[in-house]
Amino acid sequence: MHYHEKLLSPHRQEPQSIGLIPMVVETSGRGERAYDIYSRLLKERVVFLVGEVNDHSANLIVAQMLFLESENPDKDIHFYINSPGGSVTAGMAIYDTMQFIKPDISTLCVGQAASMGAFLLTAGEKGKRFCLPNSRVMIHQPLGGFRGQASDIEIHAREILYLKQR
């Protein structure tokens, strides 16, 4: 595979997973301190969802939101979303946390917010939901594919309808 094919591959790795995270160096009277860019932005109460919504990304986001609430429950959290969507259950864990914690969550779409990413974008505090001018939002009806016995398919269909009505 050539270099340009790797860049265009739909299966390419996220920069975070291959060690290309930029570092920020801060200098103070006590010396220098280096942060990865995401840790530095977390100090400013900025949380990122980059890529697919899955159990791993949801757990990281939930933990960051809970940490920021414990640091200051009265200060807004800024949630930046660039996601094609993903797991409904993982996304609902993020959504429930956003509704549960005290700080207002300001959401901002950078790039795309599709499917579960769009749902999370709309979960921000009313009046604090934003999209950059060239970002894209895509909302669709809940999807589900299932095989098996008719009773299992019926249970799965009821769950999809339940999620749609929520």
Domain ranges of the chain: 1-42, 45-165
Fold of 45-165: 2-enoyl-CoA Hydratase; Chain A, domain 1 (3.90.226)
Residue 148: the pLDDT is 73
Terminus-to-terminus CA distance in the chain, angstroms?
45
Distance of CA 32 to the CA centre of its chain: 31
Q: Is 115 a catalytic residue?
A: yes
DSSP-assigned letters across all residues of 21-45:
--EEEEEETTEEEEEEHHHHHHHTT
Letter for the amino acid at 19?
A: G
**pTM score:** 0.77
Distance CA 93, CA 74 (A): 22
DSSP-assigned letters across all residues of 86-97:
B-HHHHHHHHHH
Q: Which of 57, 83, 106, 115 is catalytic?
A: 115
Strands 31-36 and 23-28: antiparallel
Question: Does residue 81 contact residue 49 with C-beta atoms inside 8 Å?
Answer: yes
CA atoms 106, 44, 84, 56: torsion sign: negative
Q: Per residue of the chain (166 residues), give pLDDT as tens.
A: 443 434 444 444 555 555 688 999 999 899 999 999 999 999 999 999 999 999 999 999 999 999 999 999 999 999 999 999 999 999 999 999 999 999 999 999 999 999 999 999 999 999 999 999 999 999 987 666 666 788 877 887 787 778 777 7
Q: Is 151 a catalytic residue?
A: no
Question: Does residue 61 contact residue 94 with C-beta atoms inside 8 Å?
Answer: yes
Q: Which of 4, 70, 140, 151 is catalytic?
A: 140
